Amino acid sequence: MSEQLILHTLEFINPAATSRGILHTKPSWMYYFPLENGQIAQTEFSIIPGLSPEYQDERQYARDLQFFIEKCRAFIPLWSKKSFFEDQHYLEFTKDWRAFPSFLFGLELLLFSIQAKGSKQLFDTAFTRKEKQIPINGLVWMGSLSNMRIQAQEKLALGFKTVKIKIGALDWQQELSLLKELRMAAGPELTIRVDANGAFTAENVHEVLNELASLEVHSIEQPIAAGQRQKMSELIINSPIPIALDEELIGLHTLEEKAQNLDLLRPHFIILKPSLHGGFSGVREWITLAEERKISWWLTSALESAIGLSAIVQFGSTYDLTLPQGFGTGAIYRNNFESDLVVEKGCIAWVNGFDRS
């Protein structure tokens, strides 16, 4: 088999409603790299239309991606022979591509796969040895009030101890009523997170935060749109509940930019997505900077296929994770690849680890 770059359009089983619109499909580019042992190293270049900064349309992205692969192809065998995170040649090369986080995500996943000799098991951890599971939050997607209620009830029935609800699409009073129902049904033992995706304004967000505090909500993700740093800073200082940042981190590429952002805003949490926040190397930088400032964090998948999701979960398992993570399961797609992961009572588990044929 020769090298192949293939567009794989993932199809949602149910339309995925976000604050940026409704998604019916999502493109990912799969890259296959033959190895000397006869196995195939595999990776994914995953984007979210309207959010990934390097993506305008499929034609433009495919053209830029092909150019990127051609530029780095000759160095891939060299980088994969050691820890590329500390490889000065790799670090110099990727400086010019930090504005293309999905490119770095895909390249680094490929290097992990080559180092694993094409095995699905990219890291040797307690998780991949099936000695440990990782707690995750159950995600309730935006939808009608009745649909979101059903989703929330399903998460409780499946044993999730942490539930994350996307808010900001419906009338706030409707969403608030759903949160009240959930708190009443599950009691104080349930951890409730909400994700606003920047849906509120600096003027109306204070009422929302106060009402969330009355329900003992754990945290709110990106309450106002990214880019309003002074307003966000004031909000974080005065908020009655912890604030987590996500979109606010997109587009910050250097250590200096990242450090300045954290020093100015001082969020309670940051939420890290490798395909949006600089690949795995970019996420490592964010984690180091956050921990130096005693800012907590968790990892989240970002609509990747089973290939990218497995890599993100395994990468996360190399850390001592203290909070429920935001990993999806890939079950939202009708044409996903075979998964190595399964959810059991609110935790994600590694189920096989066999090599790809």
Spatial distance between the Cα atoms of 191 and 179, rounded to a whole number of angstroms? 11
Give whole-number Cα distances, 190 to 159, 164, 264, 324, in Å. Answer: 10, 11, 32, 12
Active site residue 180: no
DSSP for 206-259 reads HHHHHHHHHTT--EEE--B-TT-HHHHHHHHHH-SS-EEESGGGTT--SHHHHH
Active site residue 82: no
Spatial distance between the Cα atoms of 241 and 203, rounded to a whole number of angstroms? 17
Spatial distance between the Cα atoms of 314 and 95, rounded to a whole number of angstroms? 25
3-state SS assignment for residue 50: coil
Query: Which is the catalytic residue, given 26, 164, 166, 258?
Result: 166
Q: Which residues contact 70 (CB under 8 A, 6 or more apart)?
A: none
User: 10 Å Cβ neighbour count for 21?
Assistant: 10
Spatial distance between the Cα atoms of 159 and 148, rounded to a whole number of angstroms? 17
- Burial-class residue 171 by CB neighbours within 10 Å (0-12, 13-18, 19+): exposed
Spatial distance between the Cα atoms of 213 and 209, rounded to a whole number of angstroms? 6
Structure tokens at 72: 């780095």
The residues annotated with a catalytic role in the active site are 166, 273
